[in-house]
Structure 1
Amino acid sequence: MIEQVEDTVTDSFDKRTWHVIETVMSSHMTLCIDGLKSCFGLIIVGQSGTGKTTALDAFEGLHGQFYRTDEVTPASFVSHDSSKTEEELQQDDLLPKIKHQTVLNPEMAHWFSGDWDTRSDKWATLIRVMDGGGYTRNSGTQGERGYTGNYRFNFVGATTPLDERNWETMSHAGNRFLFHEMPAKADQDVYDDIYYSEIEYGDKVQAIQDVVQDFLTDRWEQVGGPEAVEWPSKLGEEVGEHLRYLSELVRHARAPEDGEPESPHRLAESLRNLARGHALLYGRQEVTIEDLEVCGRVALSTMPAKRRPIVREVVQLDTGERLTKMDVADRLGVSRHTAKDRIELVEELGLAAAFEETVQGGSTIAIGPETKFLWPSKITFPDR
């Protein structure tokens, strides 16, 4: 039962770890849906030491479903080493090894290093491979090599928070990844775990590996494995409207400050598939409102780090409610100058409206929600 998995993960670690594991499992289950073409990409983002790798360790060793690699590079999908024979190259090629599996890349620093052109080339290659239709390359020594046809896989990575230049690189390459934030634990909780836990860290990791992998092995067999589930694309009207809201929220929240929001197609498709994967995880072939909580967590994570706190505050406001500059500074724990910058930013993104408001001694800038971005009452608002 999935409830046993949740209990074991939460007891061994915490809700933060469970939320990441549940989201990874949901994305993984999309591989079982027939008719999908593109690959699903998910990045766990958080400061060093927050437990990102621990959550991904739960899946390591589940061969045939997950493929872990710490050094995946654009060139590794299809090899072109001039010193090797064709047979040796085929043994090196990553793409056929990961077909219909989820790639785990616990440290994605390589993908975000280098100058603009280097990073753009890396992401352009990855996005091309994640179209799911194979990949071919040409070189002077090996000629044309590669694979065509159905080579769908999923990609789950982890990284520290990205700076603006890397968000810009990804947007230029084509936004195919969703994010899930891994917030830091309170310092006191960290000390309590280290000094007072009766179970060693390694034993905790083994416990969650056992329960997660046993469950996924059974669920994989029950549904029939990769691309075995025929699922009508149409969703219920209420679910569809709520997914549309989350898609619009992400489009605006991660839009470049000096550009237009991305096209909704790819984003809407990714959130729909994540919801379907979550339903499959819980043994259903119908998406319900309960499947959208995981999509809500992802939506509020899929934006630059400095935008997340103010977006969370704004979408939770009631109609007619406003936050002054001082309110924003207090809630976000920032200076008044930074609070003013955040207010102007969410107004520029179209997520809220700014006003001049009279206060004792003069006036101040305040912000109120745009009606279309008020958080839907039927989707549980995610805790951090």
Structure 2
Amino acid sequence: MENQKRLIKAFLDSSERPSPDKYLRHTKEKALDYIGEKIDPPSNKTQATEISKPEFQESLIKIGEAYKELTSVVEKHFPDLLPALKTALAVHGCLLIKDNFQPIALFFVGVSGSAKTTVLMFCLENKDFQFRCDNFTPASFVSHAANVKIEKLASIDLLPRIKDKILITKELAPLFRGRDDELVKTFSILTTILDGKGYVSNSGTHGTRGYPEDIFFCWLGATTPFPPSVHTIMGQLGTRIVFFNTDPKENSQEKLEEYAKKTNSDENEKKCKEATNKYLKTLFSIFEKKSIKLDSIEFPKNLLRQLVLYVRVMCRLRAVFSMKIDEKASDEKIWHGRPQIEQPHRAIKILRMITSNLALTSGRDKINEADLSIIRHITLSSVPENRRIVFEALIQKQGYADIAEISTATGMSRPTARKYMQEIGELGLATFSPGSNAESSFLQLKEEFLGLLQTERPEEGEKQTGDVCVEGAEVPF
């Protein structure tokens, strides 16, 4: 306390002596700002040195060796988690890219037992480039807690502590639950923070507080599936988050019996965690943060075309319709007006960054088909479930399906299937024909999206890694 008094006195003595009518402008906040500078002076860290091309190629060889060692361990024990783990590693790689100011937020979503948090646990325990936060609320970014003195708030704010790091949150389900007005407030905060331009808020208790500066970070989290209304709210505010569905294929009785016989599941998880941590330490010891130019990773034109196509589909599938009550059927809501389709530029930037880092973190300087297979999975994981199910059924039917085929493929009743077929038509992805009656309606993919029907194959000599579930994989719990 005595030290603070001396610093406040030094502040007042060092200032130009104010006139009496301006004296009160030397507020407590100004004095505390001075104290903050004395106690915690601004960092003088120099920017990372850009890596040379020969050094980059040599480093990629080392990364490739470390990556091969890691994947051999995970493939032995949890092969079905490899695509999710590779995606998590790619998000870590985003910290290495120079001049990247767009925060990346990717959340694993799946039912209980789908190993969504297992992947996160594999990555944890690297405090130099990670920040773990299990108990999270949006108010944590910039606190206005009434029971905390203003001079101590900066020490508990989350936003400055995650700058240039990976924020890892094991359980985000509470974030996607609550009343609509609460969700709007939550996602309006997240929308601002995920723009990467800092965040400033105001309260009656502590006034205006925040960080009006560029703050880049990446965010990995996990949640159970959430209600369709959440997609609507995120869409209205501008979605900044992408998702990765971890739901496994249904396992047979025999496979579950084989899993039940095993007694070393915890030991296998420990081995994968150790291997992942070893890899991440190698990655960040070889490359400094913000030391690699994005164009160091080659993006073939045909694959870039696929990326843009996937993003366009994602933006349309998660578009928001305006709704109103049908006057002829007061218990039924119908849409009216044009769908609110987001512009794809931000999503392209985010997913290009992840794609490039899928290559980088595996020790490659060129993107391949397997990388795009994972991106395709991310884009389809990031849209409302029922639309996705119907759209995937249409793709599986090579772009043409009638209502009977859609109903059979999705397990939906025909009225429900017809509703989502009509939505996909309104979203401009396909042509919906109502037919002469409800039973004769059909859906046909538009020509500009026929590229989705092409079979994706990895380049020669490379293993396909895009499938989310691997046949014969151990069931993770």
Q: TM-score normalised to the size of structure 2?
A: 0.73
Rounded to whole Å, the distance in 2 between the matches of 1:204 and 1:171 is 40
What is aligned with 1:368?
A: 444
Shift, 1:119, TM fit: 1.1
CA shift for structure 1 position 317: 4.0
Take 1:363 and 1:76, find their aligned partners in 2: how far apart are those partners? 52
SS at match of 2:358: helix
- Superposed displacement of residue 329, structure 1: 2.1
Match 2:363 to one of 278, 283, 288: 283
Contact 1:162 1:305 in 2 (8 A): no
Give the match's secondary structure for 2:269.
helix
- TM-superposition CA deviations, 1:58-108 (whole Å, max 9, x none): 112122222221222122112223443455323211112211111111211
Q: Is the 8 A contact 1:315 1:373 kept in 2?
A: no
Contact 2:102 2:350 in 1 (8 A): no
Q: What SS does structure 2 have at the residue aligned with 1:293?
A: helix
Provide structure 1 residue ranges, at least 5 long, that are not aligned to the other structure.
none
Which residue of 358, 367, 377 corresponds with 2:454? Answer: 377
Distance 1:145 1:338, change over 3 A: closer
Deviations 1:160-182 (A, max 9, x none): 22212111111122210111111
2:261 counterpart of 1:196 = yes
Question: Residues 9 and 18 of structure 1 are in contact (CA less than 8 Å); yes or no, is this contact kept in structure 2?
Answer: yes
Letter in 2 for 1:112: F
Paired with 1:71 and 1:161, the residues of 2 have a C-alpha distance of 19
The question of 1:176 aligning with 2:240 is answered yes
Shift of 1:358: 9.6
Alignment-derived partner of residue 71 in structure 2: 6
Q: CA deviation at 1:193?
A: 5.5
Q: Which amino acid aligns with 1:263?
A: Q
Deviates more, 1:79-88 or 1:26-35: 79-88
- Select the residue among 270, 274, 282 that pairs with 2:354: 274
User: In the alignment, what sits opposite 1:227?
Assistant: 290
Partner of 1:218: 282
SS class of match (1:283): coil
**1:91 is paired with a residue of what secondary structure?**
coil
- Paired residues, number: 377
Question: In 2, distance between residues paired with 1:382 and 1:340?
Answer: 29
CA distance in 2, matches of 1:317, 1:50: 28
For the pair 1:310 / 2:390, whether they are aligned, the reply is: yes
Which residue does 1:339 correspond to in 2?
417
CA distance in 2, matches of 1:141, 1:330: 58
Q: Partner of 2:112: helix, strand, or coil?
A: coil
Q: Is the 8 A contact 1:296 1:382 kept in 2?
A: no
1:143 maps to a residue whose letter is G
Partners of 1:356 and 1:87 in 2: CA distance: 65
Which residue, 65, 72, 92 being the options, matches 2:136? 72
Retained in 1: the 8 A contact 2:107–2:244? yes
Which letter does structure 2 place at the counterpart of 1:354? F
Which residue of 2 is the match for residue 265 of structure 1?
345
* 1:8 partner SS: helix
Q: Deviations over 1:2-53 (max 9, x none)?
A: 23323322322231x2221111111221121111112001121111222111
Q: In structure 1, give the amino acid aligned to 2:74.
A: V
Matched, 1:114 2:194: no
CA distance in 2, matches of 1:379, 1:66: 34
Q: What RMSD over aligned residues (CA atoms) do the two structures have, in Å?
A: 2.6
Aligned partner letter, 1:195: A
